[in-house]
Amino acid sequence: MPGFGETIQNELQNREFRQSYVTENLRRGLAYQIRAIREARGWSQAELGHETQKPQSNVSRWEDPTYGKFSLQTLLEIADAFDVALIVRFAPFTELLETVADLSPHTLAVASYDEEIEAVQQEGLGGAAKAILEAQAFSFSAEDTDRKNAGAGYGFRQSEERLLPSIKEPPPEYKPALAGVPS
């Protein structure tokens, strides 16, 4: 009898199945993760609603695995409330299979930025992630000090310009496609 992984690999050969698999994993995965993070923080649905400035009924809908009608703006607001990163990108099916291999609440309930930094400081972190987090922490603290010394206020716009210079202007090959898009 074939194992679960082998069965899924066989089913993924069918395009209709692939589309349904992606849709259901996205719907259910987001709902389960929102609930797992909320519960890990000990928040009620009303408390998450307060953090996102939305009614509790919205939170109930977000945690419904059959809902699945999230806007990017809503996901960004939820990520901000939890103080976690949001990653939205296209990926190969093999990556999706790896991602859904462990959907336990422990895995889904990702740490907030502060919790992550604290864990890094206490337990250490190896590789590129440690270097990136240390560089960002140093960069932000140095930037804050420079701004305080210069009497300038710290705002997202300055941070955005420093961190995201490569996306201010779309690459030349995108300009024809964006010609009719209002800025």
Helix locations, the chain, DSSP H: 4-11, 15-40, 45-52, 56-62, 72-82, 93-99, 105-108, 113-123, 127-150, 156-163, 175-178
Do 16 and 89 fall into the same domain?
yes
73 and 10 in a common domain: yes
CATH number (domain holding residue 92): 1.10.260.40
Among 110, 140, 156, the domain-final residue is 110
Low-confidence stretches of the chain (pLDDT beneath 70) = 1-5, 124-183
In a domain, 181, yes or no: no
CA distance 167 to 144: 23
Give the rounded distance of the alpha carbon of 168 from its chain centre.
21
With respect to residue 69, please indicate whether it lies within any of the assigned structural domains. yes
* Residue type for position 80: D
pLDDT of residue 133: 60
8 A C-beta contact, residue 94 and residue 66: no
183 within some domain: no
For residues 102 and 149, membership in a common domain is answered with no
Q: Are residues 58 and 132 in the same domain?
A: no
Query: Residues for the chain: how many in total?
Result: 183
Answer whether residue 135 is part of any domain.
yes
pTM score, whole prediction: 0.65
Residues 68 and 135 in one domain: no
What secondary structure letter does DSSP report for 42? Answer: T
Q: Structural domain of residue 68, as residue ranges?
A: 4-110
Contact by Cβ (8 Å): 61, 132 = no
Q: Are residues 59 and 130 in the same domain?
A: no
The tally of domains found in the chain comes to 2
Does residue 176 fall inside a structural domain? no
Residue 178 in domain: no
Q: 68 with 12, same domain?
A: yes
Characterize 100-111 residue by residue with b for buried, 16 or more Cβ atoms within 10 angstroms of its Cβ, and e for exposed: eeeeeeeebbeb
Residues 84 and 124 reside in one and the same domain: no
**Does any domain span residue 141?**
yes
Statement to judge: residues 128 and 100 lie in one domain: no
Are 9 and 74 contained in the same domain?
Answer: yes
The pLDDT of residue 158: 43
Cα 41 from Cα 48, distance rounded (Å) = 10
80 and 52 together in one domain: yes
Does residue 91 sit in the same domain as residue 22?
Answer: yes
Are 99 and 30 contacting, i.e. CB atoms less than 8 angstroms apart?
Answer: no
The answer to the question of residue 174 being in a domain is no
**Cβ-Cβ contacts under 8 Å for 75 (sequence gap 6 or more):** 30, 86, 88
| DSSP 8-state secondary structure symbol assigned to residue 167 | G
